[in-house]
Every structure is written in structure tokens, then in C-alpha cells.
Amino acid sequence: MRYFISSFAIMAMGLIAAFYLGGLTAIYITFLLIVLEISLSFDNAVVNAKVLETMDPVWQKRFIVFGIPIAVFGMRLVFPLAIVSIVTGMGLMETLQVAMNQPSEYEKVLKATESTIFAFGGAFLLMVFLDFFFEERDIKWVTFVEGSKMMETFSGVANIELITAIMIGIALGHITQDFGVVLAFMYGVLLHSLLGMLDHFLSSDTVKSGIAGFIYLEVLDASFSFDGVIGAFALTSNIFIIMIGLGVGAMFVRSITLYFVEHKTLSEFRYLEHGAHYAIGILAIIMLMKITTHISEMVTGTIGIGLITIAFLHSIWENKQANLRA
């Protein structure tokens, strides 16, 4: 429980702030946003824990300490403001004034850019999934896929992840006929590849590079935040309530991550990592589909939590079977 004390404390302060911003209605909306963020980013906590396990303890602490303000203020407030600022050509402070005084205009501009945002975030998350999917592993979950001859053949192809992503990007271009969407998609693929290259040059033995891992986790967090930030406008146009709700949700995701790392949860529950990556793969596909089709964030969150729950229960069952055989 000690891992969640700070999260509950910040949630209490956030709900008090929400009350002053809009009364009981704002408290209810903030609570819904917290649940939305946790449901969309629970798989993010699992992947964060996997990466943190390979990082130096100093950088693990830095991610928890510095990652929180970046997640709360950077990704849930400054980043959306920066996107609108770039699109409109307005300054950041001017954009903030528009967001506070003309929230409908701010929402309109942000939603006008959602296709490129979804293309970039979807591409990055797709690469995260493909890296895991084609990786050679001893533990397999969906054995008829992961252990098939076809998978063995494709996994041996050089740069199969990039080839797959580029094919999807080309298909996306034909479907949307939008150069901006294709460009954003390729930037997402390129960023993931560059972070992998940086990690390769800076890492030593089994210890992942601190700075490369930190940047990777922050970009991953940003990719997960896109859905929540844009979807939040369905509940409220007040950017501060959005920041409070999604920010508190991000705090809980950090607490879950820390719990997973210190309790070696991924080692104990063997399929949890698989479930999280499959959830990420589906989220990536949904983000790309949302470029042309409306899909509720609740559907995305439910699928993600559902897959992780199935993986968790399957892990418990396998552990019991292993104990019986022993």
C-alpha cells in the first residue's frame, strides 16, 4: 500500500482543486478521467516495469522523481498546448489564454490535428509491439501463433519489424490519401528506431542506458497520453480539470510501475508482459483506425485491461500447475 500513498494524497488534492474549479460536477468528471487514464495506460505500467528492471537504480529513481512532473504537466498540459501552438502559429502563452477563455476553439484545433497525432503515436506503439512480437523468447503465451513455423521463419528475417511497419504505413497512405498522416507515421517509426540505436550505443552488458531508457519511457508515456488527452474533451473542455484527472491517473500508473519493479511481478506472473504487449498492439491498431473511424476510449481501455487480466489469471493457473507437477 505504501507505493500508492503519494498517489492517493495527490488525488485528494486534485479533487479539492477540481471542486474549486467546478464543484461536485468537476469532481465527478475528474474521477472519470482518472479511471480513463489508468484503463488506457495500465499496459504502459507493465512495459515501464520491464524497461526499468534493466536500468541502473539511479535512473530508476530519476524516472520516478522527474517522470511524474513530466507526465502530469508536460504530457497532459504543455504538450497539447504545444501542438495547438505549432498548428496555429500562436505563442504558447497565447495558446494557453485561448484554452482558458475559448475552450471550444482550442478543442477544435486540437481535434483538427488528431489524425497526425494518432498516426505518430500509433506508429511508435506499433513498433513497441512488433519488437516484442518478433523477439525470440523462451516463454510463449499464444503458442499457436508465437510457436508456429511461420513465426519462426518471419522472426529470422532481418529488420522484419521495420518492413512490417513500412507496409502498414504505405497502406495507411493509400487509405487516407493524406501525406501529413504518412509523414507523422514515419516519424513515429523513425523515433523508435533512433531510440533503439541510442540505447545500443550507450548500454553496457545487461544494463540499459539510463538516458536512452528515460527518453524511451517518456516517449512511450506520451504515446499513451494522446488517446486520453483527446478523449477527455468528450467529458470537459476545461484544460485544468483534464490535466488534474489525467495527471492523477498517470501518478497511479507510476505507482503500479514501482510496485511491479520492486516485487518482481513480471517474473512471478510469466504472461503479464505478453498481455501488456498484445494490448499495446491492439491500442496501436485502434489509434490508426481512429484516423478514419470513431472508436470510444472506453473500448480501448476495456480491451487493454481485459487482455492483462486474462494474462494475469493464466499466469496464476500455470504457476499452480507447475507447483502440482513439482
Instruction: Reduce the DSSP state of residue 211 to 3 states and report it.
Output: helix
Report whether pLDDT(56) > 90: no
84-98, 172-186, 194-208, 252-266: which has the minimum mean pLDDT? 194-208
Between 149 and 170, where is the model more confident? 170
pLDDT in tens, 122-131: 898 899 889 8
- Which range of 111-120, 137-146, 228-237, 278-287 scores highest in mean pLDDT? It is 278-287
DSSP 264: T
- Rounded CA-CA distance 304/307 in Å is 5
Task: Give the DSSP letter string of 269-307.
Answer: STTHHHHHHHHHHHHHHHHHHTTTS---HHHHHHHHHHH
55: containing domain: 2-325
Number of domains in the chain: 1
Task: Give the DSSP letter string of 33-51.
Answer: HHHHHHHHHHHHHHHHHHH
pTM of the model: 0.80
Read off the pLDDT of each residue in 234-246 and give the average, rounded to a whole number.
Answer: 80
Report whether pLDDT(92) > 70: yes
Phi, psi of 55 (to 5 degrees): -100, 155
- Which range of 10-19, 146-155, 205-214 scores highest in mean pLDDT? It is 10-19
